[in-house]
Amino acid sequence: MAEHAGDVIMKCQAGFVYSDAFIQYHFRDDHPFNQLRVQMTKELLEAEKVLESEHFLSPRLATEEELALVHSPTYIEAVKKASKGALTEEEGMEFGIGTEDTPMFTGMHEASSLLVGSTLTAIDAVLEDNYEHALNLGGGLHHGFERKASGFCIYNDGAVGIEYIRKKYNYKVLYVDTDAHHGDGVQWLFYDDPNVCTLSIHETGRYLFPGTGNVTERGLKEGYGYSFNLPIDAFTEDESFLDLYESALKEIVEYFQPDVILTQNGADAHYFDPLTHLCSTMKTYERIPQLAHEFAHKYCGGRWIALGGGGYDMWRVVPRAWAQIWKTMISGQPFQGELPEDWRNKWQKQAPVELPTTWHDPEGLYKPIPRKAEITEKNKKVLANALQFIHNQKKYNHLSP
């Protein structure tokens, strides 16, 4: 990492986990979760000539033993059965398999195990090999539970990854989830663990799935004070989103002092996203990886693993948002200016909407939000409440001799 006065120029060693087989995690043609997003992002990065053959890491399959780090063996058996088409609708119900959100499909066990394996590949690259950062856009399936599929997620690769890090490396893990939906699966799996700190910023659960992620969910027993939630109001815009996120992340990193940072980079808080009601633009998605990058270097010797996640406007939002993660990993700076024409031309043929022409979103993407001041004020209160525990600790430590 080289620095010169003022502007920081960074050259980091980063790995990009990718396989054409990611696409096999496919529920149905009209299902909102589509891994074509990963291929689009990869091709966008190749068109920008920042992703070369030396960057690629081939993912492995997670073993059943690894899946069992967080999932119950009966659940894994059920997924395997469903994978072969041998699970009845009734049997699946108990495990959340065969619902509208997570329908059964042939090969679902293998496809899901690959996504978990790809996250483990990213982790090993950073913790074992010489990589500072690694990106696995195929992962980030944060709604998977111990014995239940939900919210488009079957196995929870992030959670398996965290437990894998805990067991194999005994590192303190900071999990940061910027998906517009609460990162419930990961939070509950480590709710009582003081060595795993979770931070999730998401649209309030008053209306949006999964409904949890209240600011009062702070952890349990020894893990109390190691779960942080920032449930922000519907129609929150860049400014307020980033204000909360940056302030919280800064204080939490300082307080928790992690050894490694794992980020879930769902890209569904964008104004265009059809499933959520937040009003972020690309500004948010340029800043999020910059912060992770900065703090990983400051606190963790660079150790940062980034995952994908939600993101349901896969034409206009996800490829740009995710490409910025990679660009930041290798250079510390986001892309600017025009999108490569070849890439646009290729995907425009398939897209039902007009693809953007630039990395940034134009001003005036949406009509001004009438309740902006109120939303900003409410979000500020959420921030104060979420950090209350840290502030109390500080005060207490300051008072005691």
Partner 1 sequence: MLVEEIMKIDVITMAPSETIGKALQLLNDHHIRHLPIVDDENQVIGIVSDRDVRDARPSIFDDSEPEEFENEIQTIMSHPVITVHPLDFVEEVASIFYEHEIACVPVTKEDKLVGIITEKDMLYTLIQLTGTNVQSSQIEIKVKNIPGILPKVTQVFGKRKVNISSVLIYPYKPDSSYKILVFRIQTMNPMPTIEDLKEAGYEVLWPNMPGMSS
Minimum gap (Å) between residue 101 Cβ and partner 1: 5
Report the phi/psi class of residue 398: left, alpha or beta, with left for phi > 0 and alpha for psi in -120 to 50: alpha
Q: Does 39 bind partner 1 (CB under 8 A)?
A: no
Q: Does 369 bind partner 1 (CB under 8 A)?
A: yes
Minimum gap (Å) between residue 32 Cβ and partner 1: 5
If the CB atoms of residues 101 and 163 are measured against partner 1, the closer one turns out to be 101
3 state SS of 397: helix
Among residue numbers 131 through 170, which ones bind partner 1 (CB under 8 A)?
143, 150-152
Minimum gap (Å) between residue 315 Cβ and partner 1: 16
If the CB atoms of residues 211 and 301 are measured against partner 1, the closer one turns out to be 211
| Residues contacting 165, CB < 8 A, separation 6+ | 123, 127, 171, 173, 260, 262
User: Could you say which of 143, 182, 270, 293 is catalytic?
Assistant: 143
Q: Does 224 bind partner 1 (CB under 8 A)?
A: no
Q: Does 313 bind partner 1 (CB under 8 A)?
A: no
Minimum gap (Å) between residue 385 Cβ and partner 1: 18
Q: Among residues 266, 253, 244, 246, which one has the least CA distance to residue 226?
A: 253
If the CB atoms of residues 367 and 398 are measured against partner 1, the closer one turns out to be 367
Strand partners, 16: 56, 135
| Residues contacting 220, CB < 8 A, separation 6+ | 191, 192
3 state SS of 216: coil
φ, ψ at 168 (rounded to 5°) = -85, -35
Q: Does 8 bind partner 1 (CB under 8 A)?
A: no
How many whole angstroms separate alpha carbon 147 and alpha carbon 94? Answer: 9
Packed helices 372-386 and 238-256: angle between N→C axes, nearest 10 degrees: 10
Residue among 80, 277, 378, 394 that touches partner 1 (CB under 8 A) = 277
> Is 143 a residue of the active site?
yes
Q: Does 391 bind partner 1 (CB under 8 A)?
A: no
> Site residues (CB under 8 A) for partner 1?
32, 99-101, 143, 150-152, 181, 184, 205-212, 234-235, 274-275, 277, 279, 366-367, 369-371
Catalytic positions = 143
